[in-house]
């Protein structure tokens, strides 16, 4: 069949809001766009384990240690689902990981900020996983089947992540004055980097036009950012905390909050590798990958033994 006919079939599927599966024909640029986004999403999950992993040995109680352990393990699993989804597009996991470990591939800028106090673990769960959920619930309806299905499982686990963070913020905000100050300090430092998670403003997003056309994204960066602010402000008020933005106020006309944009120059600087923790995160990731070599070799040997046994 002619390429033209394949294109017509793809466009017809898009027009009917149908799901594209690995065996379906797809434009090269659609495939490349998905490999870029899904692999960076996977990188974000495994790098996201590092800031929180830093607090497992210092959690204030056995219960909070158990909860944080479970969350960090979940993030590793999310990375696994997403690398597997990326591989259905014909890419190779080692290649993707090499791009991460050599600093070529991006991961979410948010993970390049330090976790200075236990309140940061609360703010990450509450705000960062809250923002991730906002984005990932939308991605459950993305046009590429394996990505959409990976999101269903991930979103269920993210909800637990967001609740455990919010529980920590409640504990601190209704605790002693020092604890409340810790919660406010964490909100001050994590608010704007969290808004950056949704990507640059729509007008400056080189990928969004195709992402919307191909139904990879169902809402734009700015729409999701706005929804996140509207939804989070109720919780900020309940906690009795203050967002570090003097322009933030409810706009009765648009029935949504007006708020200040993040510092996009800072964003560009962080995603170019010059954030507070970029070097530390990449070094830790390379170290973990090197230390994990024996596990990968053992798993490959076991898989080969099984395969040979089946073939014999």
Q: What is the binding site for ligand 3HC (CB under 6 A)?
A: 36-37, 40-41, 44-45, 48, 75, 106, 108-109, 128-129, 132, 135, 158, 161, 196-200, 205-208, 211, 221, 271
Could you write out the DSSP letters of every residue in 168-233? HHHHHHTS-HHHHHHHHHHHHHHHHHHHHTT-S-GGG-TTHHHHHHTTS-SS-HHHHHHHHHHHHH
Taking the least distance from each CB to ligand 3HC, the nearer of 140 and 242 is: 140
Question: Which pair of structure tokens corresponds to residue 119?
Answer: 């309140």
Nearer CB in complex with ligand 3HC: 95/181: 95
Residues comprising the chain, all counted: 312
C-alpha angle 171-172-176 in degrees, rounded to nearest 5: 110
Q: Which is nearer to ligand 3HC, 109 or 164 (CB)?
A: 109
Closest contact distance (angstroms) between CB of 246 and ligand 3HC is 24
Please say which residue, 5 or 38, places its beta carbon nearer to ligand 3HC.
Answer: 38
Query: Residue 124: which of 37, 173, 35, 55 has the closest Cα?
Result: 55
Measure the N-to-C terminal CA separation of the chain; round to a whole number of Å: 40
Q: Which is nearer to ligand 3HC, 142 or 184 (CB)?
A: 142
Our CB check for ligand 3HC shows the closer of 167 and 180 to be: 167
Min separation Cβ 258 and ligand 3HC, Å = 22
Beta bridge partners of 250: 257
Cβ proximity of 47 and 106 under 8 Å: no
Between the CA of residue 214 and those of 4, 18, 78, 138, 142, what are the distances in Å? 17, 11, 24, 14, 9
How far apart are CB 82 and ligand 3HC at their closest, in Å? 9
| Residue number with CB closer to ligand 3HC (146 or 199) | 199
Q: How far is the CB of 224 from ligand 3HC (least distance, A)?
A: 8
| Torsion-angle region of 175 (φ positive above 0: left; ψ -120 to 50: alpha; else: beta) | beta
Smallest distance, ligand 3HC to C-beta of residue 128, A: 6
Could you give the angle at the alpha carbon of 109 between the alpha carbons of 103 and 115, nearest 5°? 110
Shortest CB 267 distance to ligand 3HC, Å: 7
Residue whose CB is nearest to ligand 3HC in the complex, by number = 48
- State the minimum distance, in angstroms, from the CB of residue 245 to ligand 3HC: 18
């Amino acid at each position: 069949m002619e390429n033209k006919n394949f294109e017509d079939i793809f466009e017809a599927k898009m027009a009917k809001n149908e799901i594209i599966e690995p065996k379906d024909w797809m434009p090269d640029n659609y495939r490349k766009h998905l490999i870029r986004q899904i692999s960076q999403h996977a990188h974000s999950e495994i790098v996201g384990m590092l800031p929180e992993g830093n607090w497992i040995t210092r959690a204030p109680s056995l219960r909070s240690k158990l909860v944080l352990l479970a969350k960090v393990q979940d993030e590793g699993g999310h990375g696994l689902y997403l690398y597997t989804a990326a591989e259905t597009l014909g890419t190779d996991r080692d290649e993707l990981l090499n791009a991460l470990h050599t600093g070529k591939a991006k991961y979410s800028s948010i993970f390049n900020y330090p976790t200075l106090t236990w309140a940061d673990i609360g703010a990450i769960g509450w705000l960062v996983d809250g923002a991730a959920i906002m984005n990932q619930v939308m991605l459950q309806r993305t046009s590429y089947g394996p990505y959409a299905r990976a999101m269903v499982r991930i979103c269920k686990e993210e909800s637990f992540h967001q609740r455990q963070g919010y529980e920590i913020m409640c504990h601190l905000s209704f605790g002693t004055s020092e604890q409340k100050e810790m919660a406010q300090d964490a909100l001050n430092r994590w608010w704007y980097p969290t808004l950056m998670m949704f990507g640059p403003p729509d007008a400056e997003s080189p990928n969004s036009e195709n992402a919307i056309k191909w139904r990879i994204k169902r809402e734009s960066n700015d729409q999701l950012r706005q929804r996140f602010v509207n939804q989070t402000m109720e919780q900020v008020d309940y906690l009795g905390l203050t967002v570090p933005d003097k322009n933030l106020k409810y706009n009765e006309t648009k029935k949504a909050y007006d708020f200040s944009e993040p510092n996009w120059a800072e964003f560009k600087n962080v995603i170019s590798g010059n954030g507070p923790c970029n070097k530390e995160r990449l070094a830790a990731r390379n170290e973990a990958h090197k230390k994990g070599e024996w596990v990968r070799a053992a798993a490959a040997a076991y898989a080969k033994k099984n395969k040979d046994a089946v073939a014999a």
